[in-house]
Amino acid sequence: MNYRFQFGVVWDNLDELFAGALLTFQLGVFAFAGGALIGLVCASLKTYGPWPVRLLVNAYVVFITNTPALIQIYFLYFGLPEVGVRWSNEACLLIGLTLNAGAYLTLILRAGFLSVRVTEIEAGQTLGMSLVQQIRYIIVPHIAKSIYPALANFFIVVLVMGTSVGALIGVDELTGQAINLSSVNYRWLEYFTVVAGMYVVLTFIASIGLALLGRWAFRVKAKIF
224: in domain: no
Instruction: Name the packing angle between helices 14-48 and 89-114 (round to 10°).
Output: 40
Q: Identify the pLDDT of residue 22.
A: 93
188: in domain: yes
Q: Identify the pLDDT of residue 62.
A: 96
Residue 80 DSSP class: G
2: in domain: no
Name the more confident of 33 and 151. Answer: 33
How many separate domains does the chain show? 1
Instruction: Give the CATH number for residue 187.
Output: 1.10.3720.10
**DSSP assignments along 111-175, one per residue:** HHHHTS-HHHHHHHHHTT--HHHHIIIIIHHHHHHHHHHHHHHHIIIIIITGGGGGGGGT--SHH
Q: Which pLDDT band, with edges at 50, 70 and 90, does 223 fall under? A: low
Q: pLDDT tens digit string along 143-194?
A: 777 777 777 788 887 767 789 999 999 999 999 999 999 998 889 999 999 9
Could you give the 3-state DSSP secondary structure of residue 36?
Answer: helix
54: in domain: yes
**DSSP assignments along 83-109, one per residue:** GT----HHHHHHHHHHHHHHHHHHHHH
The span from the CA of 132 to the CA of 123, in Å, is: 15
Q: Identify the pLDDT of residue 221.
A: 66
- Please tell me the least confidently modeled range out of 84-88, 119-123, 171-175: 119-123
Whether the predicted pLDDT of 225 surpasses 60: no
Which range of residues forms the domain containing residue 113?
Answer: 8-217
56: in domain: yes
187: in domain: yes
Residue 60 DSSP class: H
Q: Identify the pLDDT of residue 118.
A: 80
Q: Which pLDDT band, with edges at 50, 70 and 90, does 220 fall under? A: low
88: in domain: yes
Q: 217: how many CB neighbours lie within 10 A of its CB?
A: 11
Q: Identify the pLDDT of residue 111.
A: 83
Whether the predicted pLDDT of 224 surpasses 60: no
Q: pLDDT tens digit string along 207-218?
A: 888 878 777 776
The span from the CA of 206 to the CA of 41, in Å, is: 25
35-30-110 Cα angle (round to 5): 20
Rounded mean pLDDT, 131-149: 78
Q: Which pLDDT band, with edges at 50, 70 and 90, does 115 fall under? A: confident
Whether the predicted pLDDT of 58 surpasses 90: yes
Mean pLDDT of the chain: 87
Residue 93 near residue 29 (C-beta atoms within 8 A): no
Question: C-alpha distances in angstroms, 62 versus 45, 67, 105, 113?
Answer: 15, 9, 13, 19
- Please tell me the least confidently modeled range out of 59-73, 102-116, 131-145: 131-145
223: in domain: no
Question: pTM (2 decimals)?
Answer: 0.88
Whether the predicted pLDDT of 95 surpasses 60: yes
